[in-house]
A and B are shown apart, each in its own frame.
Chain A
Amino acid sequence: MLEGIFIGLEAAFSVKNILMVVAGCLIGTFIGMLPGLGPMSIIAIMIPVAITLGDPAAALILLAGVYYGAIFGGSTSSILLNAPGVAGTVATSFDGYPMARKGQAGKALTIAAVASFAGGTIGAILLMIFAPALSSVALLFHSAEYFALMVVGLSAIAAFAGTGQVAKALMMTILGLILATVGEGALFNMPRFTMGMMDLQSGISFITLAMAMFALPEAMFLVLNPARGASNAEGGSNKITNLRFSREEGKAMLPVIGRQSVQGFFIGVLPGAGATIASFLGYAVERNIAKGGEREEFGKGSVKGLAAPETANNAACTGSFVPLLTLGIPGSGTTAILLGALIALNVTPGPRLMTDTPEIFWAVIISMFIGNLVLLVLNLPLIPYIAKILSIPRNYLIPFILFFTLMGAYIGQNNATELLLLVGFGVMATIFRFADYPLAPLLIGFILGTMLEDNFSRSMQLYRGLDFIIERPMTLGLLVLAALLVLLPSYRARRARKRAEGVADGD
C-alpha cells in the first residue's frame, strides 16, 4: 500500500494535476451553487473537457474535484438561500439556513466547510484501507458473479428508493436497461432497435441521457415555478461577515464529525444509498442522541445539526468511489457518469485497476486529500465573491443553463441529432419527475446495461445455458440477495399495514 501511496503522491503532485484539482474545485463550487445544476450535470458538462486532456489520471482528478466542489457549492446555496442545488445538501439547509437568518452566514459556511473537509478526509483514509482489500476479493469474480453483482446493485438502488417507490424505481431501471440495448452491441455485430436510423447505430450517448434526466427537468422546473430556486432570504442574511466559530462550538462538532464520517462512508459504499440518505440519516441520528437542550436547538441553527449532514454527505461521496474503483460498478448517478467518462478514456475500472494502472487509482485517492484541502483553504475565503453569482437575475441565468445543457450534449458527439434526442428525453424526464418517478435508477440502468448484458451473455456461452446460476454458489447467493432486496421492503410495508389495521379494529 505504501508503494502505491508514493506512486499516487508522485502523480498527484505534478503541477498539471494540482492545477486540475484547483480548477475542478473552483468550477464545481461555482456551478454547483446555481439552482438546477447538480453535480451530475456539471460532471456531464465537464466530460468533453476531461476527455480532451487525454491523460486519464488528470481527467479523473479534474472530475473528482468538480464533484467535491459541486457538493460544497450546493451547501452554500442551501445555507444562504435555503435553495439546495443538490439533494444531498437538503439536510444542510435545516440548520444552515436558520443560522444564516440569524446573521451568522459566515460561521455557518465555515462549519460546513470544516465538516466537509473532515468528512472527506476521513472518508479518503477509509477508502485507502478498504478499496485494496475489496479489489483483491473482486479478482476472484468471474463474469457470472459480475452479472449477479450488477443485479444486486440495480435492485439495491430500487430498494433504497423509499416506501411505495420500489416498483417505480424498478420500472425506471428496466427502462434504462432497454435504452441501453439500442445500437450495436459489443458481442453481436448487428444493430438492434435502431429503427433504421443511422444516428442510433452507436447507441444513445450517455452524456445526452444524463443531461436529459437531470439538467433539463431541473431547468424546466425553474421556468415553470419561479418560486423554486428564488431567494427566500428576507434581507440581511446574504451578508457574509465573520467566518470564525468559537472553541466551544468546535468541541461540540468534534464527536459529530467522528461518528458521521464513518457512518457516512459506509452508507456511501452501499449501492444506491449515497450522499442524500447519508446526510438525512446523519442528521436524524445526531438529533436522536443529542441531549435535552441541544436537541431543542436542532432546526433552529444548531452547530451539530449543520455539521452532521455536511460530514456525512462528503464521507458518502468518497465512499461511493469504493464500488466504482474496485468493482467497476457505480452505486450512484454521479459515479455512473464518472464510469462513463472512464470508459471513454479507455480505462476499465474494476479490480484490475489497482494492479494494471496503480498511478490512476492512487492519484485519484491522493487528489481527494488535496481537493478537500483546496475547498477549505481556497474556496472558503472566496465564497463571499463566488456567492455573487446567486444575484444574477433568472432571465439571464436560465438561457445560459439551457445553453450549457445543450453544449454538454453537443460537443461530446458533434451531432445535432443528439440535441433533438436531448429535448425529447428531457420532456420525458420532466413528466417522470411530475409523476414522482426516480430518475437516477434509469441512468444507472442505462450505464450498467451494456456491461450487464455482456457478462450475462459471456456466462451463458461458457456454461452453454443458465447452469451458471446453479453451478456457481456465489452467483446464486448474490441473485437471492437481489430478490430479497426487492421483495423485503414491500413485505415489511404490507406487514406493518396489516398490524396497523389490526390495532384499529380493537383487536
Chain B
Amino acid sequence: MALDRWIALIFVTFCSIYGYAAFFTMDQLLPPFMQRNPVWPSTFPKVLSVLGIIVGMIVLLGVEKAEDNGEPSATEINYRRLGDYKIGQALMLLGLMVLYALMLRPAGFLISTTTFLVVGSAILGERKLHIMIPVGALATGFVWYLVQEVLGIFLRPFPFFMGM
C-alpha cells in the first residue's frame, strides 16, 4: 500500500475517534437550555467527521485514479528514495528544535538561541566553529534587541537563576 493510502487510513481512524467524541461524549455536558437550540457545539464536528470518513475512504480505496506523472526529477522530493536522503541530519535537527522549545524559558533566549544556531550548523557538517560561534552570538544578540527593544515583546534573555 502506498504512503498516501496509509495516511488516508490513519485519517479515517482519526475521523472515527473525532466523530465518536462528537456523537457520544460531547453532548453529555451540554446544559439543558442549549439542548433546545437547533445547533449544538457538536453539530459541526459531527458533519465534519462524516464527511472526513467518506473522503478518506475515497482516497483509501483509490476510487479516484491519479495521473501518472512519470519519473520525478532529482530535485523533487520522493519518499521512495528516502534511503538516499540525509535522514539522520533531519531527525537530529528536529530533536534540536524540540530541545530548543524546552530550553527557551529556563535557559533564556541568548544562550539557547546561540547554542541552537551553532549546534544546528555543526549537525549539518560545519567544522569552522571559530566562525559560526561569533556569527551565531551576534545574530542572536541582534534578533533579541530587535524583538525586545524595537517590537517591545518580552523575551527572557538570561537563565532563570539570574533573576530575569
Is the pairing of A and B real?
Answer: yes
Residues of A within 8 A of B (CB): 48-49, 52, 83, 162-168, 170-171, 174-175, 177-178, 181, 185, 188, 190, 192-193, 220-221, 223-229, 393-396, 398-400, 402-403, 406-407, 410-411, 414, 416-417, 419-420, 422-423, 426-427, 431-437, 453, 456-457, 460-461, 464-465, 490, 493, 497
**Among A193, A394, A497, contact of B21 (Cβ-Cβ < 8 Å):** A193
In the complex, residue of chain A having the shortest beta-carbon distance to the beta carbon of B57: A167
Q: Give the residue among B38, B56, B105 with the most A Cβ atoms within 10 A.
A: B38
Given the known inter-chain contacts A48-B153, A461-B39, please indicate yes or no for A178 contacting B55, CB distance below 8 A.
no
Nearest 7 pairs of A and B residues by beta carbon: A164-B66, A399-B120, A419-B101, A435-B4, A395-B126, A224-B85, A434-B79
Structural contact, B7 and A423, CB atoms closer than 8 A = no
A457 CA / B40 CA spacing, docked (Å)? 8
Q: Is B87 among interface residues, defined by CB-CB distance under 8 A? A: yes
CB distance from A98 to the nearest CB of B (A): 16
A220 CA / B147 CA spacing, docked (Å)? 26
Structural contact, B18 and A178, CB atoms closer than 8 A = yes
**Among B8, B77, B120, B152, contact of A402 (Cβ-Cβ < 8 Å):** B120
Structural contact, B44 and A48, CB atoms closer than 8 A = no
Given the known inter-chain contacts A220-B90, A461-B39, please indicate yes or no for A167 contacting B63, CB distance below 8 A.
yes
Given the known inter-chain contacts A178-B48, A434-B79, A464-B38, please indicate yes or no for A227 contacting B74, CB distance below 8 A.
yes
Structural contact, B85 and A225, CB atoms closer than 8 A = yes
- Interface size on B (CB < 8 Å)? 73
Residues of A within 8 A of B116 (CB): 399, 402-403
**Among A178, A400, A422, contact of B117 (Cβ-Cβ < 8 Å):** A400
**How many A-B contacts at CB < 8 Å in the complex?**
182
Structural contact, A168 and B59, CB atoms closer than 8 A = yes
Q: Is B139 among interface residues, defined by CB-CB distance under 8 A? A: yes
CB distance from A44 to the nearest CB of B (A): 15
Residues of A within 8 A of B52 (CB): 171, 174-175, 178
In the complex, residue of chain A having the shortest beta-carbon distance to the beta carbon of B147: A411
Residues 103-146 of chain B, each 1 if its beta carbon lies under 8 Å from chain A, else 0: 01100000001001100110011100000100110010001000
Given the known inter-chain contacts A164-B65, A226-B86, A437-B7, please indicate yes or no for A395 contacting B44, CB distance below 8 A.
no
A154 CA / B89 CA spacing, docked (Å)? 37
Q: Is B151 among interface residues, defined by CB-CB distance under 8 A? A: yes
Structural contact, A457 and B101, CB atoms closer than 8 A = no
**Among B26, B38, B49, B102, contact of A416 (Cβ-Cβ < 8 Å):** B102
Structural contact, A170 and B55, CB atoms closer than 8 A = yes
Structural contact, B38 and A223, CB atoms closer than 8 A = no
Q: Is B45 among interface residues, defined by CB-CB distance under 8 A? A: yes
Structural contact, B38 and A403, CB atoms closer than 8 A = no
Residues of B within 8 A of A456 (CB): 39, 44
Q: Is B29 among interface residues, defined by CB-CB distance under 8 A? A: yes
In the complex, residue of chain A having the shortest beta-carbon distance to the beta carbon of B52: A174
Structural contact, B11 and A175, CB atoms closer than 8 A = yes
Residues of A within 8 A of B164 (CB): none
A394 CA / B126 CA spacing, docked (Å)? 9
Structural contact, B38 and A465, CB atoms closer than 8 A = yes
Given the known inter-chain contacts A181-B44, A181-B45, A461-B37, please indicate yes or no for A395 contacting B154, CB distance below 8 A.
no
Structural contact, A433 and B124, CB atoms closer than 8 A = no
A461 CA / B38 CA spacing, docked (Å)? 6
Residues of A within 8 A of B71 (CB): none
**Among B51, B55, B104, B120, contact of A410 (Cβ-Cβ < 8 Å):** B104
A420 CA / B105 CA spacing, docked (Å)? 13
Structural contact, A433 and B77, CB atoms closer than 8 A = yes
Residues 68-104 of chain B, each 1 if its beta carbon lies under 8 Å from chain A, else 0: 0000001101110000111101100110011011101
Given the known inter-chain contacts A178-B48, A223-B89, A411-B147, please indicate yes or no for A460 contacting B66, CB distance below 8 A.
no
Residues of B within 8 A of A178 (CB): 15, 18, 45, 48-49, 52
Query: Which B13-69 residues have a C-beta within 8 angstroms of A?
Result: 15, 18, 21, 26, 29, 34, 37-41, 43-45, 48-49, 51-52, 55-56, 58-59, 63-67
In the complex, residue of chain B having the shortest beta-carbon distance to the beta carbon of A170: B55
Structural contact, B65 and A497, CB atoms closer than 8 A = yes
CB distance from B34 to the nearest CB of A (A): 8
Structural contact, B59 and A174, CB atoms closer than 8 A = no
**Among B7, B37, B126, B135, contact of A432 (Cβ-Cβ < 8 Å):** B7
**Among B6, B41, B66, contact of A190 (Cβ-Cβ < 8 Å):** B41
Structural contact, A224 and B87, CB atoms closer than 8 A = yes
Q: Is B162 among interface residues, defined by CB-CB distance under 8 A? A: no
Knowing that A403-B120, A493-B64 touch, tell me 12 more A-B residue pairs with CB under 8 angstroms: A52-B151, A52-B152, A174-B48, A193-B21, A193-B45, A223-B89, A223-B93, A399-B136, A416-B101, A423-B98, A432-B7, A434-B3
A420 CA / B121 CA spacing, docked (Å)? 21
**Among A175, A190, A228, A497, contact of B77 (Cβ-Cβ < 8 Å):** A228
Structural contact, A419 and B97, CB atoms closer than 8 A = yes
Residues of B within 8 A of A414 (CB): 153-154
Residues of B within 8 A of A490 (CB): 64
Residues of A within 8 A of B84 (CB): 225
CB distance from A25 to the nearest CB of B (A): 19
Residues of B within 8 A of A422 (CB): 97, 101
Residues of A within 8 A of B147 (CB): 407, 411
**Could you give 22 example pairs across A and B, Cβ below 8 Å?**
A168-B4, A174-B52, A178-B15, A188-B40, A188-B41, A192-B41, A193-B21, A220-B90, A224-B87, A395-B121, A398-B93, A398-B124, A399-B117, A403-B116, A406-B97, A411-B153, A420-B98, A434-B79, A437-B4, A457-B44, A461-B38, A465-B38
